[in-house]
Structure 1
Amino acid sequence: MSEKTDWELKAANLLKAELKRKGVTYAGLVEKLAEIGVDEKEVNVRNKLSRGKFTAAFLFQCLESIGSRELRLD
């Protein structure tokens, strides 16, 4: 299995931090994604964040579904 790149790690950590900041669990994220028409299973979300391998579209879907409007990149 390949090592996560710095960018993958940064993207995964950013999304995990936003979930924590908003108080949203992976199960909650799955529910919120379903509300905007995105069908995901909790295990798949967990794996994507664990691996750090997901599309920019998935990142935006997650951020939109949890109501994130601003991000801190530092």
Structure 2
Amino acid sequence: MTERTDWEARAANLLKAELKRKGVTYSQLVDRLAEIGVSEKEVNIRNKLSRGKFSAAFMLACLSSIGCDTLHLDRL
């Protein structure tokens, strides 16, 4: 099994933080993604975020579906 890179961890943490900030659960995220035509299962989302392995397109779809229109990328 491969380790997460710093960039993968940062992307996963960013997405998880935005979900928490918006008060959106993984189950709710599944429903919101479905509304914009993206089919995902809760277990798949949970796995993607725990591994930090997902595409930029998936991240953008998630952020868009929860109404996140601004990101602040602070230096780590």
TM-score of the two chains, using structure 1 as the length reference: 0.99
Amino acid at match of 1:71: L
Distance 1:16 1:65 in 2: 14
Q: Deviations over 1:23-54 (max 9, x none)?
A: 00000000000000000000000000000000
Amino acid at match of 1:19: L
Give the unaligned 5+ runs of structure 2: none
Which residue pairs with 2:38 in the alignment?
38
Which residue pairs with 2:56 in the alignment?
56
Task: List aligned pairs for 1:1-74, cutoff 5 A.
Answer: 1-74=1-74
Percent of paired sites with the same residue? 74
The number of aligned residues is 74
SS of 1:58 mapped into structure 2: helix
User: What stretches of structure 1 move > 6 A for 4+ residues in a row?
Assistant: none
Give the unaligned 5+ runs of structure 1: none
Distance 1:17 1:28 in 2: 15
